[in-house]
Structures are given as structure tokens and as C-alpha cells.
Amino acid sequence: MSDQIVIEGLRCLAHVGVSEEERRHRQRLLLDITVEMPLATAGRMNHVRATVDYAAAAMLAKRTAEGKPYRLVEAIAERVATALLKTFRVESVTIRIRKFSVPQAESVGVEITRRRS
């Protein structure tokens, strides 16, 4: 297993839901993002060019999640993973999304892992 960078609890407000009514209003989502990549060079160099800029990765994920309406959080997870893999030199990305609109559940969500091909 490679080293990991973790972004937890990225707050997003997205139009997401199966029905048009559900998509009409933005819903609160929490994204947890884990990227795998070697971090030894970054640790030795102490320079952001050798790692992933956390703020840039978080902003890209947030823009992707909030940028258009989605029917499924699965679709948001796929698009966020794809965007991060295309933008940063990482080996893999794990995206966990939690949604809070399901009655009688604290949250529901998905977790996916995608690897660079």
C-alpha cells in the first residue's frame, strides 16, 4: 500500500436526488477523499510540488460535486474521482460521500475507489 493523503468532511451543497423535486433544493453532502501516492520525496523536499495541494484538490472536488445536478451520489463520486485522477499524479482515489436526507437514517452514502489506468 502506498502513502495516503486524506481530506475528511469536505462540506458541499449539491442538487442531488432521483426525483426532480429532490434535486430542486441543494442538499448537504460530506465528502471524504483519500488519495494514494508516494510521499517520501515530499517529506524529504518539504515542497508542495512533490505532493498534492490539499486546498486545490478539495476545491476541485467541491466544484465538481456542486457544479451540476445529479440523480445519484454514485455519479458525483465517479466524477470527483475522475477529475482528481486527471488533475493530480496520484495512484488511486477513494471517495466517500454521505447524504443526510433519508428519513430515519443519520446518513446514507457510497464509497468508491478508482485507480490510474
Kindly list the catalytic residues: 99
Residue 51 near residue 42, CB atoms below 8 Å: yes
